[in-house]
Chain A
Amino acid sequence: GNSVTQMEGPVTLSEEAFLTINCTYTATGYPSLFWYVQYPGEGLQLLLKATKADDKGSNKGFEATYRKETTSFHLEKGSVQVSDSAVYFCALVSNAGGTSYGKLTFGQGTILTVHP
């Protein structure tokens, strides 16, 4: 079956520090990969996505590259801000079998806290 593993958290950084949150996956077929972000008291929002090997997703200064050879999709940001404090989820959807919809498999989430 499909699975997603994220680095253990929580992660605490100072403003302007470099961020990496590791994500590795196991999947059948050719998955699409996602990073979702959840701000306190809210639902999840899509942060970025990549649909095939070597694709780079980017948004709001965050980036992640789909690495098929290492089955990874690590999230990075060069300079974090206090407003980036949130929970980050790596997820995948594998449409193996020709289904036309996707059931997301999530990692356990990583809590990021950024201090001024």
Chain B
Amino acid sequence: DAGITQSPRHKVTETGTPVTLRCHQTENHRYMYWYRQDPGHGLRLIHYSYGVKDTDKGEVSDGYSVSRSKTEDFLLTLESATSSQTSVYFCAIEGSGSRQYFGPGTRLTVT
């Protein structure tokens, strides 16, 4: 295992509420990624980070923001959750040779 944890693992929230998902790594890797997984779409990149305070948008970034104040933590925030953001969210870190290691995922349901 690459030492990645995600919290919470499951969350149910109401439309319009803010939600923050946390990804924590113990490997001191520079690059970190947030993906969402939906049936028929595989995984799609939301945001990524290439260092402390250095982040950029991915393919499906609308409605999401991220922050990285420490190397080990990468936070994903839904400012005002919508039902279309019901998904499974995966964090990943990048090792050598572009290999990515994935966390166990967070299942988010927006009602």
Which residues of chain A are within 8 angstroms of B48 by Cβ–Cβ distance? 101, 103
State which residues 89-116 of A face B: CB under 8 Å: 89, 93, 95, 101-104, 106-109
Total chain B interface residues with beta-carbon distance under 8 A: 24
Shortest Cβ distance from residue B109 to the other chain A in the assembled complex, whole angstroms: 16
New contact pairs (12) apart from A34-B99, A36-B102, CB-CB < 8 Å = A42-B104, A43-B90, A43-B103, A43-B104, A46-B100, A101-B50, A102-B98, A103-B33, A103-B58, A104-B33, A107-B42, A108-B42
A4 to B50, CA, bound (A): 24
A-B contact count (CB 8 A): 55
Which residues 50-97 of B sit at the A interface, judged by CB distance below 8 A? Answer: 50, 58, 90, 92, 94, 97
- Nearest CB of chain B from residue A99's CB, rounded to whole Å: 9
Residues of chain B lying within 8 A (CB to CB) of residue A107: 42
Residues of A within 8 Å of B19, CB to CB, are none
Which positions in A face B, CB cutoff 8 Å?
4, 32, 34, 36, 42-46, 49, 51, 89, 93, 95, 101-104, 106-109
Contact residues of B with A, CB < 8 Å? 30-31, 33, 40-45, 48, 50, 58, 90, 92, 94, 97-105
CB distance from B56 to the nearest CB of A (A): 9
Q: What's the Cα separation between A10 and B94 when bound, in Å? A: 29
The answer to whether A43 touches B33 (Cβ under 8 A) is no
B45 touches A104 (CB 8 A): yes
- In the bound complex, CA of A95 to CA of B31 (Å): 14
A46 to B100, CA, bound (A): 8
Closest to A31 in B: B98
Closest to A99 in B: B50
- Specify which chain A residues have a CB less than 8 angstroms from the CB of B33 in the assembled complex: 103-104
Which residues in B have their C-beta under 8 angstroms from that of A46? 99-101
